[in-house]
Structure 1
Amino acid sequence: MPLPPTAAVLGNAVAALASTGLARQARPRHLRASARALRTTGTSAATLLALAAEHRPDAPGLVDDAGSLTFAQLDDLAARLTQGIAERYRPAQGATVAILCRNHRGWVAATVAAARLGANVVYLNTEFSGPQLAGVWERVKPDLLITDAEFLPLVPTGEVPTLVGWHDGEDLPVPTIDELAAEHTPFVPQGKVPAGKVTILTSGTTGTPKGAARKLSPMAVLSPAVTIIRRTGLRSGDPVSVAVPLFHGFGLAIWALALFVRCPVVLRRRFDPEQALADVAAHRVAFVAMVPVMLQRVLALPEPVRRAHDRRSLRTVLSGGSALRPELAERFMAEFGDVLYNGYGSSEIGIAALATPADLRAGAGTVGRPTIGVPVRILDDNRVPVPDGRSGTIFVGGQGHFEGHTTGATKEVVDGLMDTGDLGRLDAAGRLYVEGRADDMIVSGGENVYPQEVEDCLARHPAVADVAVLGVDDEEYGQRLVAFVVTRGEQPPAEELTAHVKANLARYKVPREIRFLGELPRTPTGKLLKRELPS
């Protein structure tokens, strides 16, 4: 008989902690500081960094485009920033901090400072356009914004106190986190700090960005952490490269895991495939987190470039964020060996499954077995479980569920399991296969795109009379957007229409192809007949 979910997680947690080497780092002198951190900030990022700084103060904690910091230096930066925010801005408990930063130390310091203050955190997507950010801003209504200097023109800095997390030496109208931290002593918590919510922005059914909010319980954090540790063999001190944006749930989860295991983290503000390989060689990276399009770009490098970098330290490449094509998985493992893992999850359910290299070899396209302690069921339209091998809607249990979208909407729950919105099946070995969305969502390069939002944008162009946007298979991006356009009057250049979308929406929502038609096939009620569109 299988163990109950909580017992399964706790049983595996003991083995996982032993395998990482964390237990061997504990000394009697650490007990007081560790207990204080756990008592004041719970299972937050603030606690994880405090524990890392207490146990491994002089060990490398972070490498980014500005250099490297030890765990103690990173903790000191975050503590001074926390005190600076507390003194200068005096945020009320439960205040909202919006973070609009690329991958660098400023993002880490901002995240930890918010946790130490008990603030709610909203991570903003750095790919959003000005209009998208304006729409999100109205709903989020932050009390403090921490942003990179490059995004200052896109945000209403005059409406809310603002700090700059990264800049390139230009004159700034607002202070930087480094300046604020330098002016203050480290923050010392006074009593228990209530845990704030973490909100990751996603897209709604209309494509309008919305937030998935949650408070992280110990079990919600422990389950995916234990699963990844047990299946990948991650050890304390293993350098981890997080190429995925940290505002994305996947990137955030892997960064938090690395901090929990006290691993140095390599961050780059922009992904470059050759730099990623150079980092593996220079920092002896053992674990890399990427979306499939990044794997594609690495394989697209000339063979001499790929071979020029020593990658013998690399034991795990975790793919997530969008579907991993079987063909891409096979090519990647042919080049790098059996180091590829494939994860499945979402902002609403957390990490639900993880495929090992053996799983990928045995079942092409699988996302692997469910996360330890997380039940996964395939249900039919009547919400009745279907037999192995039969397709249905994927429902996921566990304690990683979100609390609801910031719009007030939530997901259907059946017997404690939440609807993922995905269709899939389980095989006889318990491996999960995701067959696609139950709606019309397009996933391009790891980002979610809803056709209606792009259609509405194109329809605002004066030359567009009618438009439909679909996703078609693409080897590099998983899917690419194709717009079928009926023009009004003279046909404009396709580049004019794509430029129009780029000026109003995130870059990943720009169609990669425009096809002009005389009319779109529609029913009398206006429903698009997709099957009648040119292939």
Structure 2
Amino acid sequence: MNVSWALEEMASIQANKRAYAFLNTSATYQELNENATRFAAGLQSLGFQKGDHIALLLDNSPQFIVSLYGALRAGLIVVPINPAYTRNELLYILQNSDTKAVVTTDKLLPVMESMHQELPSVSQFILCTSDHPFAHKSDKLDLSISLKLKTFSELAECGNPLCRLDLCEADTAVILYTSGTTGHPKGVMLTHKNMYSNARDIAEYLSMTNSDIVITALPMFHIFCLTVMLNTPLLCGAEIIILPSFSPNEVFQAAKEHKATVFAGVPTMYSFLIQHSKAQPADFSSVRLCISGGAPMPVSLLKQFEETFYVRVSEGYGLSEASPVTCFNPLDRPRKAGSIGCSIPNVENKIVNELGEEIALGQVGELIVRGPNVMKGYYKMPEETAAVLRDGWLYTGDLACQDDEGYFYIVDRKKDLILVGGYNVYPREVEEVLYEHPGIREAAVLGVPDPDYGEAVLAFVVQYGDSLTEEEIRTYCKERLVSYKVPSSVEFLKELPKNTTGKILRRSLKKQIEKQR
């Protein structure tokens, strides 16, 4: 089974049930399924074959869903890409992924035109616009790219029947490029089995059914949204409320208007929702579950949100290489603040030492994962694949521990561990303390070189006003942390650098430090 044909099955069960709402439009499951089939047939009519790569450079929209499911149905491998990437970032991924077709919007046409000579493998650009491709730049458009242009509607209305293919569950379905911490991003190859099994197991664990109405505000090109808020609800017949992008006001409005039952976001989103001047607990009265992932959620933020909106927040854990979810806080047992929860069905999590040996409960080691959701490998990177896939286990690079009730706790990224005079300092522990300060809105902690202790703790802080001083923050930390964990210095920023999902970019902060030194 794969998610695209699962959509067809759901359409046969509840043809007239609404699948999604987007701005002033909507579609039933039958309509969505038919659109995906027409798009798949259109791709085949252009000569694309099973195994060809197609990139999606799209924001949240119905066209993203139709392109995704249609391309998978035609046997193509989908490469979702952040449309906000720079030209160089886009060029690297499109070249490295061996993409043959690109689905994008007319606003990115100038960028595509500027690089298409460097993309000889791309034979087709498909534009999501109601106009003809030449309507905007007819006399200026390079002839060599104009011959490669089609509109989304032209492709979806080709009229040819779909040639149904036998798709193997081991076939690659998606290649997702991880943001990475150094160098170029890596292409994570996820199979049809990876994608389908993770959506199925999440639906079971979170008790998602066709009566749920979910707010999809996370970017669809990101694996968190792609699996948890797109594939999972469509797999069980739920309704998706698509927001073009995250906006606290639009989230509250959508929840109230559609009587939404599920919302998912990264910690930064929850912080913005609490801070929003028009936030009213009544706006979330229909929501039964909020999901947090993408980054560790500060305990103080989690409790504040739950107390404000009277809704449970289930924090989970995942990574692109695992499709992505491996853990969630369970719904039938207590939610433990600060924990990523327990293993979802069919997925096994384990804590090991540097030799790969399982360690005692409560001890800190590396989190490794095994299950049908674990990736096939990194595209064209066999050495990097072998480094993280060992004996059937995915080595996550995250330091974690497990309690006696099966709950896991992420301590920190293995590579972010700070060694102060031989003592381990986990950035998250210090960040939790900083987040508890009423004057601090956001915080991030890094290790910096120190001539005496090897490394020292540096804190980046975003405050609500401008009254805090470095000494006040250090004094606050001294009362709550052992001396070697206390930040040796504090830098105040107006905002912390984040990616499109709101995850704080430590590598950007590291680069900032390197420039200063």
Give the shorter-chain TM-score range.
Answer: 0.7 to 0.9
**How is 1:183-262 mapped onto 2 (pairs within 5 angstroms)?**
184-185=158-159, 187-194=161-168, 195-217=171-193, 221-222=196-197, 225-226=200-201, 228-254=202-228, 255-262=230-237
The equivalent position to 2:410 in structure 1, one of 409, 434, 459, is: 434
Contact in 1 for aligned 2:2/2:196 (Cα 8 Å): no
Q: Any unmatched runs of 5+ in structure 1?
A: 1-42, 452-468, 477-493, 521-535
The equivalent position to 1:171 in structure 2, one of 131, 136, 159, is: 136
- State the alpha-carbon separation in 2 of the partners of residues 372 and 473 from structure 1: 38
- State the alpha-carbon separation in 2 of the partners of residues 245 and 515 from structure 1: 27
Partner residue, 1:326: 299
Question: Does the alignment pair 1:96 with 2:53?
Answer: yes
Task: Indicate the structure whose relative CO is greater, using CA pairs within 8 Å and at least 6 residues apart.
Answer: 1
Partner residue, 2:11: 53
- State the alpha-carbon separation in 1 of the partners of residues 21 and 462 from structure 2: 33
* Deviation for aligned residue 1:512: 7.7
- State the alpha-carbon separation in 2 of the partners of residues 432 and 312 from structure 1: 30
Partner residue, 1:422: 398
**CA 518–138 in structure 1, closer or farther in 2 if over 3 Å, else same:** closer
**How is 1:21-420 mapped onto 2 (pairs within 5 angstroms)?**
43-65=1-23, 67-87=25-45, 89-155=46-112, 156-157=115-116, 159=119, 160=122, 161-165=124-128, 171=136, 174-182=149-157, 184-185=158-159, 187-194=161-168, 195-217=171-193, 221-222=196-197, 225-226=200-201, 228-254=202-228, 255-302=230-277, 305-307=278-280, 310-349=283-322, 350-356=324-330, 361=335, 363-408=336-381, 409-410=384-385, 411-420=387-396
Q: Deviations over 1:79-103 (max 9, x none)?
A: 222222221x211321111111111
Counterpart amino acid of 1:138? Q
Counterpart amino acid of 1:177? F
Number of equivalences: 427
- State the alpha-carbon separation in 2 of the partners of residues 93 and 514 from structure 1: 41
- State the alpha-carbon separation in 1 of the partners of residues 186 and 409 from structure 2: 27
- State the alpha-carbon separation in 2 of the partners of residues 263 and 286 from structure 1: 10
* Deviation for aligned residue 1:306: 1.8
**CA 187–331 in structure 1, closer or farther in 2 if over 3 Å, else same:** farther
- 1:313 is paired with a residue whose SS is coil
- State the alpha-carbon separation in 2 of the partners of residues 95 and 512 from structure 1: 38
* Deviation for aligned residue 1:46: 1.9
Q: Deviations over 1:339-360 (max 9, x none)?
A: 2111101111231100146867
* Deviation for aligned residue 1:148: 2.3
**CA 83–341 in structure 1, closer or farther in 2 if over 3 Å, else same:** same
- 1:175 is paired with a residue whose SS is strand
**CA 285–516 in structure 1, closer or farther in 2 if over 3 Å, else same:** closer
- State the alpha-carbon separation in 2 of the partners of residues 336 and 371 from structure 1: 26
- State the alpha-carbon separation in 2 of the partners of residues 271 and 396 from structure 1: 31
**CA 118–387 in structure 1, closer or farther in 2 if over 3 Å, else same:** same
**CA 260–414 in structure 1, closer or farther in 2 if over 3 Å, else same:** same
Q: Deviations over 1:139-193 (max 9, x none)?
A: 11211100122333333346421012357997366432123323x2264334524
**CA 45–149 in structure 1, closer or farther in 2 if over 3 Å, else same:** farther
- State the alpha-carbon separation in 1 of the partners of residues 153 and 12 from structure 2: 23
Counterpart amino acid of 1:320? G
- State the alpha-carbon separation in 1 of the partners of residues 182 and 514 from structure 2: 24
- State the alpha-carbon separation in 1 of the partners of residues 234 and 193 from structure 2: 17
**CA 514–112 in structure 1, closer or farther in 2 if over 3 Å, else same:** closer
* Deviation for aligned residue 1:404: 1.4
Contact in 1 for aligned 2:40/2:70 (Cα 8 Å): yes
Contact in 2 for aligned 1:199/1:214 (Cα 8 Å): yes
TM-score by length of 2: 0.74
**CA 516–336 in structure 1, closer or farther in 2 if over 3 Å, else same:** closer
* Deviation for aligned residue 1:231: 3.9
- 1:282 is paired with a residue whose SS is helix
* Deviation for aligned residue 1:235: 1.7
Deviates more, 1:262-271 or 1:191-200: 191-200
Contact in 1 for aligned 2:101/2:125 (Cα 8 Å): yes
TM-score by length of 1: 0.71
* Deviation for aligned residue 1:267: 1.2
Q: Deviations over 1:253-300 (max 9, x none)?
A: 121111110111111221111101111111121111211111111111
Q: Any unmatched runs of 5+ in structure 2?
A: 138-145, 418-426, 432-443, 447-456, 465-491
- State the alpha-carbon separation in 2 of the partners of residues 317 and 121 from structure 1: 28
Contact in 1 for aligned 2:211/2:238 (Cα 8 Å): yes
* Deviation for aligned residue 1:507: 11
